[in-house]
Every structure is written in C-alpha cells, then in structure tokens.
Amino acid sequence: MAGKAVKVSIRIFPAPICKSGLAVNLFALSRSGTARRVVRRIAHGFTMLEMLVVLIVVAIIMATALPMLLGEGPSDSEMRGAARQLAAAARQVRSEAVAQRRETLLVLDLEKNRFKIDEDPREYRLPEAIVLKLFTAQTDQISDTVGSIRFFPDGGSNGGRITVGAGEDSNRKYEVDIDWLTGRVAILE
C-alpha cells in the first residue's frame, strides 16, 4: 500500500437549506473505491470587511445628506444657481462693454445679496442664505460691503473673484472667476 497512488474525486451538489445554514453534499471516493457522502454546513453571515464597507458608505451618505435635511445653510442647487446667475451677469456686462465701446461695471452688494449691471436700474436678488465674498481691485471697492468688477472695451477686465458660499466655516462654495486679461468668466467648484 505504500507505493500505491490513490485518486480522490469530489463532486458538489446543492442540498436543501437547513436551520443552521446551507448544507452542501460532497461525494468523496474513499480508498476502497466506494463513494461516501459528506455533508458540510456553510455558516451564513458577513465578514468584517463587508460590515466596514457598509458602515463607510452609510457614513458618506449621512455626511452629504444630513446638512441638507436639517436645513442648515443654502442647498447646493441654490448656490450653483446663484453662481450661474452671477457668471451670466458678468458675461453680459463684458458683452455690453465690447458692443458699446465703453467701460461697464458689475456692482455687487455683499450685505444685501444683490447685484446690478452698470446703467440698468434693475437690481437682481440672490438667496438670503448664501454668503458672498468679492475679491477685486481696491479702486473698485465702493464701500466695505459694496464693490464692482470693471470690464473694458477690449473685452478685458480688472479681474476678480466672486465666492458664493454656505457660510464662513463651510467648505461648500462656488467661485465665479473673471480673468483680468481676457475678461473670460468661469465657474470653479
């Protein structure tokens, strides 16, 4: 028996589910050549890695959804809409400067969340919950809370950045960037 090779084959057949878990029928060929049935029970449950992945996914969902559900600050769509509205106004002011061959201004009131296009008497309101910040040339700061961005007849501007945010401490913000050389307006997230 010492030098004799033994061939063992295993076949797996599904078996009914029992109380302790899924039972699997294994048929093994014994050394004598007869098939014997071996039943193994497979325990149901989750691995630690699966539980960790589920907890991380739930934490990410809660971190993004909780501020919106609690109503803290403006929604993301309000901020995006305000940024798009400001970008459209800046593009319009630039177009007017080029078409009329004169300097034009986009005037922003940071305290009241309003903006005005140069000689147009209308003022446009933005949602009250957002916080505006303006970075522009010092010569175009009218007061502590009112400033402007100037566009020139060649399409350029004095440059600047308007930040539309959820608050002082929040990282949620959109930035309307105006290039000083070309006057190009872009929204940065």
Region for 53 from its dihedrals, namely left if φ exceeds 0, alpha if ψ lies in -120 to 50, beta otherwise: alpha
Partners of residue 174 on adjacent β-strands: 164
Residues 87 and 146 in one domain: yes
Whole-number Å distance between alpha carbons of 163 and 60: 26
DSSP state of 55: H
pLDDT on residue 62? 86
Please report where in the chains the tokens 């400067």 appear, as a residue. 97
Residues 155 and 107 in one domain: yes
Lowest mean pLDDT among 31-35, 96-100, 104-108, 166-170: 31-35
pLDDT band at 75 (very low <50, low <70, confident <90, very high): confident
The 10 Å Cβ neighbour count of residue 70 is 8
pLDDT tens string 87-98: 999 999 999 999
Residues 170 and 80 in one domain: yes
Residue at 55 is within a domain: no
Residues 115 and 154 in one domain: yes
pLDDT band at 74 (very low <50, low <70, confident <90, very high): confident
Residues 90 and 170 in one domain: yes
Interval 62-78 mean pLDDT:
76
Interval 21-28 mean pLDDT:
53
Q: Domain limits at 43?
A: 9-49
Residues 171 and 107 in one domain: yes
Interval 79-87 mean pLDDT:
94
At residue 143, φ and ψ (nearest 5 deg) are -150, -170
Structure-token pair, residue 133:
């910040």
> Which residue spans within 46-167 are E strands per DSSP?
104-109, 114-117, 123-125, 131-135, 146-151, 160-165
Who has greater pLDDT, 109 or 24? 109
Nearest to 73, CA basis, from 138, 131, 153, 150: 131
CATH classification at residue 90: 3.55.40.10
Name every residue whose Cβ is closer than 8 Å to that of residue 82 and which is 6 or more positions away in sequence.
74, 126, 127, 130, 164, 174
pLDDT surpassing 70 at residue 167: yes
Whole-number Å distance between alpha carbons of 25 and 120: 83
Residues 35 and 91 in one domain: no
pLDDT on residue 80? 93
pLDDT on residue 45? 76
Whole-number Å distance between alpha carbons of 188 and 18: 58
Interval 7-17 mean pLDDT:
54
Interval 150-158 mean pLDDT:
95
What's the distance, Cα to Cα, between the start and end of the chain in Å?
A: 77
Residue type present at position 22: L
DSSP state of 26: E
Residues 42 and 109 in one domain: no
Whole-number Å distance between alpha carbons of 178 and 172: 20
Residues 15 and 93 in one domain: no
At residue 149, φ and ψ (nearest 5 deg) are -120, 130
Residue at 58 is within a domain: no
